[in-house]
Structure 1
Amino acid sequence: MTAVRQDAWSPDDDLILAEVTLRHIREGGTQLSAFEEVGQRIGRTSAACGFRWNSCVRKRYDEAIGMAKQQRQKRNYLKKQGISTLAGGDRLIVEEGEGGKTEMMSAESMSLEAIIRYLRQWKNTVQEMSRQIRQLEKEMKEKDERLTEYREQNERLSKEVNEVQTDYRVVNDDYKALIRIMDRARRLAFLTEEPDEDRARFKMDANGNLERIE
């Protein structure tokens, strides 16, 4: 169990609190875990360490906190790139994908190498995106041309349909007119027919002449 000290904080206590907290920030740990570690080292509770940090010590290390956060971001980025750091952070271990080759490089040069690798990957990504964009533009152009062709064909077919409909109406009107004429002619023929008893009768004589029979 951690002892609870009632005495005032010494400069050494503040220094330990700052060093441990900055290390946890730099390595991606939590401040709570840092306060617990400090409490075990100097015999105070983690709550007391947290209160001391937030109320007093933190204000004196704003610049150091910013640098620690930058180092944490750098560590996370290198970790994503398959790069791990040795203790102390001065040297890096680079794991190559093929052959399992291991190379030792400085943090500064490795950062440059990581940036170059990132830029190359980004260049490949941009080239692939450009290729896809060109392909999409080509397909869009082909579809626009096809759409234009379909529109022209649709207009041509619509025109032909209108012409056929017009011809049909003309033929239909002519047919109706012909039916009316035939019907009228049939009625007229019926009205002008003579009864059988009123019709004149003829017979042919020996000389081939027709003579009327009364």
Structure 2
Amino acid sequence: MMKLEKSKKEVWSTEHDIIVLNAALKHMHEGGKLKNAFDEAALKTGRTPGACAFRFNSFIRQKYSDEIQRAKLQKGTKPSQAKVVPIAENMNHLEHVADLGWENVLHFLKAQSQLNQVSEKEYNNIQQQLADVIEENERLKRELESLNEIRSKVESFGMNFSKMINLLEHVRSLGIL
């Protein structure tokens, strides 16, 4: 009896993850069933629907939770808004760039703009904190310098006072006072 060998696919690529993700986002967005998304992704990736479902549930769902949540919230809007391609992860795979589409590029640029605004606010906040610390440092240096001057005067006075007491004791011992 001849044994049939199943050919095992190689490791999941980012491209295949994105295909599964986009199919799932589309079906979630349209209110469809994920099973249909996995059937669609299976045709595009050459994998079984079960393998696509397993990959989605074991890896993609956690990695792209923000995009998935956004698709659930956007039910009923234009379908093109449900498709999300994580562009930043694909920049090292230039062959994927041609498949991005304007909606995805726009989505990426908006996300980057929001990140830059947050980063700029954080940068300005850090710059202000740095300026405050430098100002406090200068104030403390001046205060230390002033305290050192006072300590020096007190020490000088203490030595002079000590000499005066010694002189008075000497005068008393001589019986002058």
Provide TM-score, normalisation by structure 1: 0.43
Look up the equivalent residue of 2:50 and give its one-letter code: E
Q: Does 1:135 align with 2:125?
A: no
| Distance of aligned partners of 1:83 and 1:144 in 2 relative to their CA distance in 1, 3 Å threshold | farther
Q: CA shift at 1:35, angstroms?
A: 8.1
Q: Does 1:37 align with 2:34?
A: no
Q: Does 1:145 align with 2:132?
A: no
Look up the equivalent residue of 1:79 and give its one-letter code: D
Question: Which of 119, 123, 126 is the aligned partner of 1:126?
Answer: 123
**How far, CA to CA, are the matches of 1:84 and 1:122 in structure 2?**
26
- Which secondary structure state, in structure 1, belongs to the residue aligned with residue 3 of structure 2? coil
How big is each residue's C-alpha offset from its partner over 1:25-70, in whole Å with a ceiling of 9 and x where there is no partner? Answer: 4468xxxxx88924xxxxxxxxxxxxxxxxxxxxxxxxxxxxxxxx
Q: CA shift at 1:18, angstroms?
A: 6.4
Q: CA shift at 1:8, angstroms?
A: 3.7
Look up the equivalent residue of 1:140 and give its one-letter code: N
Structure 1 partner of 2:104: 107
Compute the RMSD of aligned alpha carbons. Answer: 4.0
**How far, CA to CA, are the matches of 1:135 and 1:8 in structure 2?**
70
Map of 1:9-158 to 2, 5 A cutoff?
Answer: 9=6, 17=9, 21-22=12-13, 25-26=17-18, 37-38=50-51, 76=64, 79=66, 83-84=70-71, 91-92=81-82, 106-158=103-155
**How far, CA to CA, are the matches of 1:84 and 1:152 in structure 2?**
69
**How far, CA to CA, are the matches of 1:92 and 1:166 in structure 2?**
90
5+ residue gaps, structure 1: 29-33, 39-71, 94-104, 183-214
Provide TM-score, normalisation by structure 2: 0.51
Q: Which of the two has greater strand per residue?
A: 1
Identity of aligned residues (%): 7
**How far, CA to CA, are the matches of 2:114 and 2:131 in structure 1?**
26
The alignment of Structure 1 onto Structure 2 pairs a total of residues equal to 116
Structure 2 partner of 1:56: none
The higher radius of gyration belongs to: 1
Q: CA shift at 1:90, angstroms?
A: 5.0
Using CA pairs below 8 Å that are at least 6 residues apart, which structure has the higher relative contact order?
2
Note if contact 1:90-1:106 (Cα within 8 Å) is conserved in structure 2: yes
Note if contact 1:92-1:106 (Cα within 8 Å) is conserved in structure 2: no
**How far, CA to CA, are the matches of 1:123 and 1:161 in structure 2?**
56
| Distance of aligned partners of 1:176 and 1:125 in 2 relative to their CA distance in 1, 3 Å threshold | same
5+ residue gaps, structure 2: 22-46, 52-59, 84-101
Note if contact 1:84-1:92 (Cα within 8 Å) is conserved in structure 2: yes
Q: Which of the two has greater helix per residue?
A: 2
- Which secondary structure state, in structure 2, belongs to the residue aligned with residue 106 of structure 1? helix
Q: CA shift at 1:79, angstroms?
A: 1.9
